[in-house]
């Protein structure tokens, strides 16, 4: 390949600002004239780190070597395996180790946390979410409301942008937190638009109004720097298969601020909720530790934890601040390349143009065709993998760990060919 013009400029940027692509397996492609896909779906499923396979097999081999004795004698003993993830996860979300735990799936964690933090009464019973919240969050809060005997149509407040706008304004979110709101539960980065919410400002406003404030960080963890402890967030939950690259359906995480750890919040309990030191005394009552570990219910699945541990080590080595800086550069470059394409076609950028108000994502609203149809054209004719949200939103996530400036050039060129110009 002997690139010229804009393509050559992209190649030069990759040489100067390369990321850590060599750590990942990039899917091959048989279209577009390139050996690998241009992958922009890391906000849906991250790519596999090369070392994941090696280290997962190591954990599998411990089972073969030790049998049940692997709980104590494996190279990474299973009894305490989850603690290997606690420190890196806490550093990534800006929490204390006592505030952080890796467990379950995202929605299960949200339900377990709402058992503790959604305590409605006749005067304060509403939950505030985005109207464009990921559907599972909507299902979760509506089912919690029904469980407590309230009508979701009355108790769930769904925030919509102002007419003609695509994202929420912080002042409008704050204004919606009235004296009847028990819980504010928003996405730190909105999955559809890529908007980064003002987490500290909204958290402070929620507390001032007497509400509990929790965050779904599925699209924020591994994407943007977080300081959950310093921001005084009550609780948070996240998955690990998007920007954390831990594999499909992999384990999630949870955060509970230390203010709540020594109290008497209601909580569901199970085998792993009790303190480790006395776990095998088989006592009939749990002795929960004063940490987020008390929200664990079941013993952790080791072979699901293994890829999470591997991924978190990469983030510890590279650093989220370094990744955020590259993300800002990479996303701005993609936006620059898309600008002339958007200007001449039935496309609209719905992600905030202000870099501090977005993560590693640009979302386009499409006219004239469905998002899935366009995504298939990009994939099979150009080797560009993007994420479609029907009916009309295409999401492009330039992930700073493995995406390239050349990928951005390919995406812009592919869109220019795939979407007809305005008549």
| Residues 214-270: tens digit of each pLDDT | 999 999 999 999 999 999 999 999 999 999 999 999 999 999 999 999 878 999 999
End residue of a domain, out of 267, 283, 318: 318
**pLDDT value of position 280:** 85
Please state, in angstroms and rounded to a whole number, the distance separating the CA atoms of residues 265 and 119.
Answer: 10
Q: Residue 62 corresponds to which tokens in the numbers above?
A: 């411990």
**pLDDT value of position 33:** 83
In 3-state terms, what secondary structure has residue 274? Answer: coil
**Crossing angle (nearest 10°) for helices 50-66 and 302-318:** 140
- Residue 59 domain flag: no
End residue of a domain, out of 289, 318, 347: 318
Same domain, 106 and 133: yes
% residues pLDDT > 70 (the chain): 99
Same domain, 203 and 295: yes
% residues pLDDT > 90 (the chain): 95
Same domain, 390 and 266: no
End residue of a domain, out of 318, 338, 365: 318
**pLDDT value of position 262:** 87
Helix (H) or strand (E) segment spanning residue 304: helix 302-318
Q: Which CATH number belongs to the domain containing residue 191 in this structure?
A: 3.40.640.10
Query: Is residue 356 packed enough to be buried (19+ CB in 10 Å), middle (13-18) or exposed (0-12)?
Result: exposed
Candidates 266, 287, 283, 258; CA nearest to 275 is 287
Same domain, 373 and 358: yes
Give the phi and the psi of residue 186 in degrees, each rounded to 5: -120, 160
Query: Is residue 128 packed enough to be buried (19+ CB in 10 Å), middle (13-18) or exposed (0-12)?
Result: buried
Same domain, 304 and 366: no
Same domain, 13 and 109: no
Cα 192 to the center of its chain, rounded Å: 12
Please state, in angstroms and rounded to a whole number, the distance separating the CA atoms of residues 6 and 4.
Answer: 6
- Residue 260 domain flag: yes
- Residue 32 domain flag: yes
Candidates 367, 340, 372, 378; CA nearest to 31 is 378
Q: How confident is the model at residue 278 (pLDDT cuts 50, 70, 90)?
A: confident
**pLDDT value of position 4:** 73
- Mean pLDDT, residues 2-24: 93
Same domain, 192 and 118: yes
- Domain count within the chain: 2
Q: How confident is the model at residue 398 (pLDDT cuts 50, 70, 90)?
A: very high
- The answer on pLDDT for 380 being more than 80 is yes
Q: Residue 322 corresponds to which tokens in the numbers above?
A: 């370094």
pTM: 0.96
Residue 20 sits in which domain range?
5-48+319-418
Q: How confident is the model at residue 2 (pLDDT cuts 50, 70, 90)?
A: low
Q: How confident is the model at residue 277 (pLDDT cuts 50, 70, 90)?
A: confident
- Residue 57 domain flag: no
Same domain, 379 and 413: yes
């Amino acid at each position: 390949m002997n690139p010229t013009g804009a393509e050559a400029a992209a190649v030069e940027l990759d040489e100067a600002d390369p990321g850590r692509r060599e750590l990942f397996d990039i899917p091959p492609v048989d279209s577009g004239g390139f050996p690998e896909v241009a992958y922009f779906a890391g906000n849906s499923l991250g790519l596999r780190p090369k070392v994941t396979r090696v280290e997962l097999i190591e954990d599998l081999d411990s089972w073969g070597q030790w049998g049940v004795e692997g709980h104590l004698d494996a190279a990474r003993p299973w009894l305490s395996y989850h603690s290997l993830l606690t420190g890196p996860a806490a550093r990534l979300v800006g929490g204390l180790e006592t505030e952080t735990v890796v467990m379950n799936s995202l929605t299960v964690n949200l339900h377990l946390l709402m058992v503790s933090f959604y305590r409605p009464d006749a005067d304060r019973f509403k939950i505030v979410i985005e109207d464009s919240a990921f559907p599972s969050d909507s299902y979760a809060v509506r089912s919690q409301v029904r469980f407590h005997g309230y009508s979701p149509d009355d108790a769930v407040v769904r925030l919509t942008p102002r007419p003609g706008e695509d994202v929420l304004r912080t002042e409008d979110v704050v204004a919606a937190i009235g004296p009847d709101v028990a819980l504010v539960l928003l996405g730190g980065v909105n999955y559809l638009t890529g908007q980064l919410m003002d987490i500290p400002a909204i958290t402070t406003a929620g507390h001032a109004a007497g509400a509990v404030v929790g965050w779904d960080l599925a699209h924020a963890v591994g994407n943007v720097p977080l300081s959950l402890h310093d921001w005084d967030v009550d609780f948070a939950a996240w998955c690990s298969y998007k920007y954390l690259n831990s594999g499909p359906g992999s384990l999630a995480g949870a955060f509970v601020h230390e203010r709540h750890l020594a109290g008497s919040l209601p909580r569901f309990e199970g085998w792993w909720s009790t303190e480790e030191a006395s776990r095998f005394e088989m006592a009939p009552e749990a002795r929960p530790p004063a940490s987020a570990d008390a929200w664990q219910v079941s013993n952790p699945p080791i072979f699901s934890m293994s890829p999470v541990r591997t991924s978190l080590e990469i983030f510890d080595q590279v650093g989220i601040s370094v990744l955020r800086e590259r993300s800002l550069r990479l996303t701005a470059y993609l936006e620059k390349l898309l600008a002339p394409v958007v200007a001449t076609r039935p496309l609209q950028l719905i992600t905030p143009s202000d870099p501090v108000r977005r993560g590693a994502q640009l979302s386009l609203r499409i006219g004239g065709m469905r998002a899935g149809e366009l995504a298939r054209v990009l994939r099979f004719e150009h080797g560009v993998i993007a994420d479609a949200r029907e009916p009309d939103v295409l999401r492009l996530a330039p992930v700073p760990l493995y995406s390239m400036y050349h990928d951005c050039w390919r995406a812009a060129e592919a869109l220019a060919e795939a979407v007809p110009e305005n008549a």
